[in-house]
Amino acid sequence: MIPTLLPKAFTILELKYHKLILIFISIWIVNSYSQVSLDYFGNVSSPLNYNFRLNSIESNVANFSLIKDVELSTTFFAMNDKKIYGSIYALALMKRIGNHNFYLRYTPGINQQFIVKSGVKVQLPDSIAQLKTEIDFQEKFAFGYSFKFLSNFFTGISFRYFTQQFTEEKPILYYTDSIYYINIRNDIAQNNFWRGDIGFTYLLKNKFLLSISSYNLLLAEEINQSELNELYSIKKDKGIAAQIVFYPSERITMFTSYESSGSFYFGVNTTNKLFDGYITIGGTLFHDKYQNPYFAGIQPSINYSTNLFSITLSGIKYFSNRPLLSSLEGMTKYGIHSIINNIYSKDRLFLTFNFALSFIREKSVKFIDVNIKNEIYPTLSDLYLQKPFAYGKVVNLTKNLIEVRPSCLIKEINDDIIYSPSVHINPLDTVEVPFFTVVNKNVDRRKISIAEFYLSIGDEKPDDKIQKPILVNDKNSWDGNVSNLIYFVRYDFDFSSKYAKNILQSYKKFLDTVDFKLNTFYKIKILFENFIKQMNYVADPRSSVEYVQFPSETIKVKGGDCDDLSVCLASIFESIGIQTAFVDYRNDNGISHVNLIVNTGLKPTEMNLITKNDSKVFIRQNENGIDELWIPLEVTSFKDFENAWKIGAEKFIREAVENYGLSTGNVKIIDIY
């Protein structure tokens, strides 16, 4: 496909090349030759099948090609000359190395043979013979090279080697003692030569391809002085050809080529999606200075291309009956300028197969960058299933809508590649792609790891990948967001449930005797007092990152800070069905103090069962949307339940209500579930 063009005006380097082209035009514009830029592919190239080189040196002297690595092309031909016959026409191998592109072609099928009758008859011993000359023109092989100077400017050269053999019959007089007679001798002359040309190709604004090239610029002949060479050799007039290709859309291609002799061709093709590839159908009309009628013929063509192979069926159909070269006068008057296309050429069919030998698939999507939004906190694993931890800036390199499967691998936390939801990207568009992950490995220490990000199309291998460093924290690390403490609450649920049930079992008789309405309230009181009587306030062991203990660790070490104590109490209450929520008191420095509010299960009308002070409770909906009485608890008050309730309620009324903390956002309530 056409590479992205430079959006600005020509650079100084480009201007130099343009001057060279203008000088080149002025030197060769005065010369003339026939239609020699007609090739056997039939102009089926389009932006959608540019993975393959679908033209030959005849129309592509600059050797312009966008193949990715290695390509093999094989062409067969068939011609109806009284009888149908065919053979291998050409074998071509193409290779790209960086900005260099190489092309090698072997052409056993580019040949033409003639028998020219001289008009002289001789009397042989047993018959009368008319003398003739046999002519054999053939291109043996060709070589092309191009270099990409800029993303949209290419220049190249091509060399072709031709053989010419002329076998002339001449009468020879033989004498003996008694008689003399005439016989025929074959005189053979050869005039082989190299032909070299140069070309330039420029891509303009994704809409035009401009190309200009020489013909017969450099000639190196294996000189064999002979009258036959002067009479019959291929004409080698110097000249130029200019080609313009216009892409009004990705599916329509229009093209024309004009030669300095006045010969030209023009045509159009259309490309559409078919199965896993593209089908291109086109036609070319051509005018040749030396052929009649004005439009000498047409080249229909059809091509089907996928990422790995391309098949082209093309042909040349002339609009006039083709003359036979039967006299010396015909050859000397018109001559031969091109072996492929001349006044004696016959209608032909070509079948070409192109194969991508390296199987390097063209990239459809590419990373521009990846922005890691969050460090990895293993205990917050569920969070990374809901919220991306990174975003990739990704560009669609194609002119089609594509579906991209993003994925990533962080070896410290993943057993295998983790796939994120697929993303659709419009043609040539750039979007941000989210990346999610999960944690399925234990992480015992904090370290910097490598995150590998991938972009795939379907189930194929990744089109692109990029690596970024990422900090993976240990399991006790916390990002400081009180909302995410709920993941620590859930971590030790089994332990918390056993702990709560063991304590309540000791108070079974008492709980069986109290009013059923107060059952939850007394469970809260019993569990809180049993918990705090063995606790001490202990600050985090490190200051570089927030550290949160799991409930089992807090019980084991018998202490912790407000985060640890709130997490542990919430886990204990929640494990037996008592609804809780965190209260996040945030000061002006952004530092949080965390307490709990706990649902007593009592209706607002039942407040007198636990207190006559309405400032110690507040009404809040439970998880089912029903209004119930909640009580605040200061988790760092280790005296008793009543004191913790009193301090917690006073702090809540002051910070959340009187100082408008709830409305300003300085106080937040986060439900555990």
523-549 confidence digits (pLDDT tens): 999 999 999 998 998 887 655 678 999
Range 283-301 average pLDDT? 93
Report residue 283's pLDDT band, with 50, 70 and 90 as the boundaries: very high
Per-residue pLDDT at 14 = 42
Strands 297-305 and 309-318, sheet pairing: antiparallel
Q: Which of 472, 499, 532 is the last residue of a domain?
A: 472
Per-residue pLDDT at 586 = 87
Per-residue pLDDT at 344 = 87
Within-domain flag for 54: yes
Same domain? 390 vs 495: no
Same domain? 157 vs 55: yes
Per-residue pLDDT at 34 = 54
Per-residue pLDDT at 126 = 78
Only one residue has tokens 């008592």, namely 578
Same domain? 349 vs 393: no
Within-domain flag for 260: yes
Q: Which of 289, 323, 356 is the last residue of a domain?
A: 356
Same domain? 143 vs 172: yes
Report residue 278's pLDDT band, with 50, 70 and 90 as the boundaries: very high
Per-residue pLDDT at 451 = 96
Q: Which of 356, 378, 402 is the last residue of a domain?
A: 356
Within-domain flag for 129: yes
Per-residue pLDDT at 44 = 92
> Half-sphere exposure (CA, 13 Å, Cβ side) for 126?
0
Q: For residues 649 and 631, is the Cβ–Cβ distance under 8 A?
A: yes
Report residue 617's pLDDT band, with 50, 70 and 90 as the boundaries: very high
Per-residue pLDDT at 150 = 87
How far is Cα 506 from Cα 522, in angstroms, rounded to an integer?
Answer: 13
Within-domain flag for 6: no
Same domain? 253 vs 115: yes
CATH number of the domain where residue 500 is located? 3.10.620
Q: For residues 283 and 268, is the Cβ–Cβ distance under 8 A?
A: yes
Per-residue pLDDT at 21 = 40
Per-residue pLDDT at 357 = 87
User: pTM score, two decimals?
Assistant: 0.59
Within-domain flag for 541: yes
Range 176-202 average pLDDT? 85
Please name every residue paired with 174 in a beta bridge, in sequence order, or none if there are none.
181
Burial class (CB in 10 A: 0-12, 13-18, 19+), 308: middle
Q: Supply the DSSP string of 99-134, one letter for each residue.
A: TEEEEEEE-TT-EEEEEEEEEEEEE-SS-EEEEEEE
Structural domain boundaries enclosing 497: 480-671
Position 142 pLDDT exceeds 90: yes
Phi-psi category of 428—alpha, beta or left, where left has phi over 0 and alpha has psi -120 to 50?
left
Same domain? 380 vs 494: no
Count of domains observed in the chain: 3
Assign 55 to helix, strand or coil.
coil
Within-domain flag for 2: no
Same domain? 69 vs 156: yes
Which pair of tokens denotes residue 187?
């005189």
Same domain? 318 vs 387: no
Compute CA 647 distance to the chain's CA centroid, rounded to the nearest angstrom: 62
Compute CA 406 distance to the chain's CA centroid, rounded to the nearest angstrom: 13
Q: Supply the DSSP string of 517-585, one letter for each residue.
A: GGHHHHHHHHHHHHHHTT-EE---S-SSSEE---HHHHHHHTEE-HHHHHHHHHHHHHTTT--EEEEEE
More confident residue, 394 or 223: 394
Position 319 pLDDT exceeds 80: yes
Same domain? 408 vs 321: no
79-121 confidence digits (pLDDT tens): 876 665 678 999 999 999 989 999 999 999 999 988 888 778 8
Nearest in space to 380 (alpha carbons), one of 470, 449, 479? 479
The backbone torsions φ and ψ at residue 63, rounded to the nearest 5 degrees and listed phi first, read 60, 35
CATH number of the domain where residue 398 is located? 2.60.40.10
Q: How many CB atoms lie within 10 A of CB 268?
A: 17
Same domain? 176 vs 264: yes
More confident residue, 215 or 359: 215
Per-residue pLDDT at 8 = 35
Within-domain flag for 634: yes
Per-residue pLDDT at 477 = 92
Per-residue pLDDT at 372 = 95
Per-residue pLDDT at 5 = 32
Which segment of 81-85, 97-101, 457-461, 619-623 scores lowest on mean pLDDT? 81-85
Q: How many CB atoms lie within 10 A of CB 125?
A: 9
Range 132-161 average pLDDT? 93
Same domain? 230 vs 311: yes
Q: For residues 450 and 352, is the Cβ–Cβ distance under 8 A?
A: no
Burial class (CB in 10 A: 0-12, 13-18, 19+), 533: exposed
How far is Cα 498 from Cα 478, in angstroms, rounded to an integer?
Answer: 25
Per-residue pLDDT at 325 = 67
Q: What is the dihedral of CA 169, 171, 172, 174, to 10 degrees?
A: 130
Look up residue 41 and give its DSSP letter: S
Rg, C-alpha atoms of the chain: 44
Report residue 177's pLDDT band, with 50, 70 and 90 as the boundaries: low
CATH number of the domain where residue 328 is located? 2.40.160
199-236 confidence digits (pLDDT tens): 999 988 778 999 999 999 999 988 776 777 777 888 88
Position 171 pLDDT exceeds 90: no
Assign 317 to helix, strand or coil.
strand
Same domain? 372 vs 507: no
Q: What is the mean pLDDT of the chain?
A: 87
Element (H, E) at 230: helix 227-232
Within-domain flag for 7: no
Per-residue pLDDT at 542 = 59
